[in-house]
Amino acid sequence: MAAKAVRRLLSEYRELINNETDGIYAGPVSEDNFMLWECLIAGPPDTPFEGGMFSATLTFPDDYPLSPPTLKFTCDILHPNVYPDGTVCISILHPPGDDPNMYESASERWSPIQSVEKVLLSVMSMLAEPNDESGANVDASKMFREDRQQYENIVRRYARRTVGL
């Protein structure tokens, strides 16, 4: 574990506990490995995701914060910008160097001044406003565009499942 990354993560963790943001809960899985976090993201209100509690893991690279963490949902989720395996595809998690979709502006990409809190907030707004132009999950994108009703039904079912209903 890189000492520098761990120090920064500790400090971010303290800030998260002392200064709670609604709908976001995150913390290291264990004290032995500070580079792996677990987090819960509440489904944003007035969307089909409302009421759900989506669990995800955050994995930090050794050169964090130079490189971004990766975020992967560990629950079932249907979303145009989430790969079928749960990995989130969102501009804030892409380093400025590589642009898989060739159109993101540099300002919304990862930079060391971003933080766990900002990443999770972006994911929350991503849930509210999917970007169907850069579909990570092509089927979901297609459904989102062509059969919104079915998309919302599935999303609602998954959201209920996350809280054990």
Partner 1 sequence: MDIDIPDPTDWLQTPIPGLQALESSLRCQVCKELFTAPKVTSCGHTFCSLCIRRYLSTSSKCPTCMKPDEEPRLRDNILVSELVGSFNTIRKQLLDTLRAKEKEKEEEEEARRRRKAEEEEEEEKERVTSIQPRAEKRRPYDDDDDDDIMEDAEPIYRKGKRPRQDTTIAPRYPQETGPPTRRSTRTSSQRTNSRILSSQTVVILDSDDEFLPEEDEISDNDDFRSNNNHNNNNNNNNNGSRAKRKAISRGVPETPTKNSDMVACPICTRLKDKSKVEAHVNRCLEGKRSPSPTPIKATNGPGTPLKRQPVSFANIPKPQQRAPYTDEEKKELRLPKGNASLTKEADIRKKLREFGIKYDAKGKESKQVLWARLQEWTNMWNANLDSATPKSKETLRRELEAYERHQSTQKPSVVQDKGFERDAWSKGHRSEFEALVAAARKSAAARKKENGVVEAGPKDQQLLDSMAGVQAELNGIDSPEVVEA
96 binds partner 1 (CB under 8 A): yes
Q: Per-residue contact track with partner 1, 33 to 72, x per CB under 8 A?
A: -x--------------------------xxx-xx------
What are residue 115's phi and psi, to 5 degrees?
-145, 170
Spatial contact of 92 and 110, defined as CB atoms under 8 Å apart: yes
12 binds partner 1 (CB under 8 A): yes
State how far the Cα of 140 lies from the Cα of 79, in Å rounded to an integer. Answer: 6
Say which amino acid occupies 44.
Answer: P
CB-wise, 18 or 149, nearer to partner 1? 18
163 binds partner 1 (CB under 8 A): no
89 catalytic residue (yes or no): yes
Spatial contact of 127 and 79, defined as CB atoms under 8 Å apart: yes
3 binds partner 1 (CB under 8 A): yes
Q: In this structure, how many other beta carbons lie within 10 angstroms of the beta carbon of residue 36? A: 14
Q: Which residues pair with 26 in a beta bridge?
A: 39
Question: Rule CB under 8 A: which residues touch partner 1?
Answer: 1-5, 7-8, 10-12, 14-15, 18-19, 31, 34, 61-63, 65-66, 95-97, 100, 106-107, 111-113
- Give me the active site residues, please: 89
